[in-house]
Structure 1
Amino acid sequence: LEKTETAVRALLSDMQDLTGSWAQKAGIKLVLSCPEDIGTALLDERRIKQVFINLIRNAIASTPDGGTITLAAEKQKNLLTLSVSDTGRGIAAEDQERLFKPFEKITKTPGATPSSGAGLGLALVSNIVKMHNGSVRLESRETKGTTVSFTLPLSPAKKTTAGKGAPHGKKT
């Protein structure tokens, strides 16, 4: 991994810019939910962008025209939680566990469009997050949508010099 201090809000904004046209073509709204003052995190930006691309592609594939996908971030103590939520058709409980295994795809979901992928996206997501010493969580209810969140440990806050990085913590 090539970890660098990365501005979290800018990362999510970049992902919104990069994938917004994909969502727009599918008639889906892509929104950002992230505090302005969320600060920075030590991570491999290129790899985390791969995670987001996989999660956003999956969300677009399962969200109907008129739906919404939300990219979100929040800090809690020494953890950063990033997530992609959709208002799509959801995933059956019996299918959720196997989705993170290589070559697994869900094909029987009602209204699903056949995936052209190899079934490696969520396995890749899981591996990248584990390389960051993090964890992945999937929450889904059929017909209600899905949220895939991943939590990364934050390095201890470092003193930043003027103009470098964003402030840590919440403003009061």
Structure 2
Amino acid sequence: MLPIRLPVLIVFILSLIGAGYLGFASIHLEYDKVIHFTTFLILTIEFYFVFDTKNKKLIRIITFVICTCGASIGSELIQHLINSQRIFDIFDILYNVCGSSIGLLIACIVHNWRISKMRQEKQRRRQIDHIEGQSISTLDNQPILSDDQEEGKNLIPLQDL
């Protein structure tokens, strides 16, 4: 089972409830196609990031199958069965699929960017550790000096003056 990001899951569920209301209610909105596109874009991005995995191929396939194929097409078929006042529209499916596809593309780009940033940070930390390791090993080979000797002060007792 894939590990889950709980905060993202909560946001996804809340978005899903809102999308369900818009999809199954008997309301007619002026910008219906824009809402279909935007809703599936957002839901797909949220779904993609629900799972906390570095396996990019697996999460992309799961998101494509569930969101782009399943939910984008299935939601139009189901909404007509649940609410007979809703009219089946093939263009709604088209906008759902387009929104979901672009959402998946955005999620993949962001995921790649995040992985790239993590790799850069890991490499930077290794370089810092390597530099610190060198300075520690070079210090180990030098004699231990007192604080006065480190500052380059040669102290002469006052009695010798």
TM-score by length of 2: 0.29
TM-score by length of 1: 0.28
The structure with the largest alpha-carbon Rg is 2
Higher helix proportion, which one?
Answer: 2
